Amino acid sequence: MFEIEVKRLLRKYSVWLTRVISSGQSSFALFICLLTIVFVYRIQLAMGLFTSPVRPFDFNPAHTPVWLMLTYWPYDLALVLFLFLLSWYFPTKFIKNSGIQEIHSYENLKFKIKEEFHSLGHYIARDEIQTVDFFIQRMSKAREPFLGIYISFAAHFPYFDYGENYRIMKEDGRLINRYYNNLNLLDHMIKRIVDHLKGQGLLERTILVIVGDHGQAFGQHHPNNFMHYRYSYNENLETPAIFYQPALFKPKTFEFPTSHVDILPTLLDALRIPYPPMVFNGESLFHYKLRQESIFFYGYEESVSSLDPHLIKVQYSLKKNKCWAFDLKHDPDEKNPLDCCRYPLQREALHKFVSDHDEHLLKYNTSLKEKGEISEVQVPIVKD
């Protein structure tokens, strides 16, 4: 009875929402409209959560749908505010002005839609298999040299089910099993791309870079530590990175910490393209001795961390004014936090990074402008 009544209300207010008109892009009317839409979605999310067998780690079935909607109301408000900044957060025009001529995404790829409701949100994506089909077709038409970037959604929450053909774990509702199944799907999609390049005779003159953008947690350390953004443990941060082109890269495994900012200078070195090293925060992995002794990263929980070549990880909480450390060589699961006082050099490096990083970047940019060393790349300008 409750579900029937809610559906009736949704139909009623969905019609009403289509009649809300705003005269300005960021007017108060638009704000109220978005907030109302999100609230309607929250009702659907609550219904879906209480009827779906797949649920996040922080779900408590003893809670009522009303409690759930009221609890997440501040998050809904934050979401609406975020919508006003969405074009800033995903600067499509900035990317195009940097030289990327085509961007295909959910908005302009009219493929099948995968969709699920959870307490954390309403998740939608285009079908991964059809998207890879399109990517392969687009590569077939590309004129050399070309750059193709494929960003997969398969390994992201809520890990949509793609059927028995891609299952290596039992489909029992556990998120981690769905995650493993989707990693298997992603392996198959990468193989299809590689096989296509090989079949077209392109593989021998193509550089493949396969990289993850973040880790994925499933309740380690804290009950609410799922996905990647809530904490700064290894399961949240560690990612794979693979470079493949036999003519440029000999088989080798790097055991010391690296970062995404090391990818571009490494590729430039591999292609023998000269560049000023100080332009980059990262550095080429072809260097025998790296300039940086540590890599640094910020955490969602208002922390800043350093990781040195000896796998000593020092973390400082800006929120709690507290410092701790892990010896990842002897404690890879980060079970035993250590006193920072044991690592004065790492603490000093972390403090120096926080205090100097932004200032050095600003000074560097100013000096380049004064010397006229910033080159103007002529690309088609994308206007509003």
pLDDT tens string 261-315: 889 999 999 999 988 887 787 888 887 666 667 888 888 778 888 898 889 999 9
What's the pTM?
0.70
Higher pLDDT, 17 or 366: 366
Write out pLDDT tens, residues 305-321: 889 888 999 998 878 88
Residue 384's pLDDT is 37
Residue-wise burial string across 10-39, b where 16 or more C-beta atoms lie within 10 A, e elsewhere: eeeeeeeeeeeeeeeeeeeebbebbbebbe
Residue 328 phi, psi dihedral angles, 5° rounding: -70, -20
Residue 349 has pLDDT above 60, yes or no: yes
Residue whose C-alpha is closest to residue 299's, from 361, 358, 228: 228
Write out pLDDT tens, residues 168-227: 998 887 889 999 999 999 999 999 999 999 999 999 999 999 998 888 888 888 888 888
Cite the DSSP H helix spans in the chain.
Answer: 2-17, 28-51, 65-71, 73-84, 86-89, 92-97, 128-141, 175-199, 234-237, 263-270, 344-371
**Rounded (5°) CA angle 120-123-127:** 155
Within 10 A of 379 (CB to CB), how many other CB atoms are there?
12
Residue 141 has pLDDT above 60, yes or no: yes
Residue 92 has pLDDT above 80, yes or no: no
